[in-house]
Every structure is written in structure tokens, then in C-alpha cells.
Amino acid sequence: MDFPELDPYFQSLTDITDTVAILNSPYDSEFDSDINKMENFLHDIQTKDWLNTDKEYFNLFTSHFSFHIKIVEEIVREAREILDPERRMHVKRLVGYCKTTEEWLADLQKRRRATETLATA
């Protein structure tokens, strides 16, 4: 399985996340499309066999992805302070995205630890 070079791979996610962050500005954007891109990126990540990657690569991946999740959580936090009723549905969608990504990453890390434990036993 081919694994991406992580810095440019996550730069594309950063670019998408930056457009989603406009949610907290007075500017209009294609929020549905931008959130779709983020969700598609997640689906792509989920197709990779992270359980069988090099440990350093896996750790770098989880670092990048954890940082992404924290950024989206910050976007949500700021959006809740602003409370623009017209953008509420997008905020709810981002909350769901955060929950899904956090659960998936936590489960992946748990499974990874279990496979590493089995490998050393």
C-alpha cells in the first residue's frame, strides 16, 4: 500500500481547514462544499492501513491529524461564541465531524497499541 508523504498530504487538509475557518468571519463561502472536502479527506485517511505502518510514520500521522482535530474544535468554539444563526447547521456538522474524527483516531490508536503489544509478546 502506498502511503503519502505526510507534510504535503496534510498541507492540503490545512488548506481545506483554512477555508472552513471562514465560518467565523463575515465572508461567504461554500461551507457545505468545504466541509465535504474535509469529510472526503477523512474517508481517504480511513482507507489507509495505519496498523501496519512504521511506528515513526504512524506517530507523525497521529500528530498531524490530532492537530487538525484541535484546529477544527477551535473553529467550532469560536463559532459558538459568534452564534450566527445562518451558519448554525454548518457548526453542527463540524461538531459531528470532530466527534467522528476523535472517535476514529482513538480507536485506531487503541488498535495500534494492541497490535504492537501482540508483536512484542
Tens digit of pLDDT for each residue in 9-62? 999 999 999 999 998 888 888 999 999 999 999 999 999 999 989 999 999 999
pLDDT for the residue numbered 28: 80
pLDDT for the residue numbered 15: 94
DSSP string, the chain: -----HHHHHHHHHHHHHHHGGGGSS----HHHHHHHHHHHHHHHHTS-GGGS-HHHHHHHHHHHHHHHHHHHHHHHHHHHH--GGGHHHHHHHHHHHHHHHHHHHHHHHHHHHHHHHHH-
Domain that holds residue 66: 52-120
Q: Is residue 1 over pLDDT 50?
A: no
The verdict on residue 57 lying in a domain is yes
pLDDT for the residue numbered 62: 96
Structurally, the chain folds into a number of domains equal to 1
The verdict on residue 20 lying in a domain is no
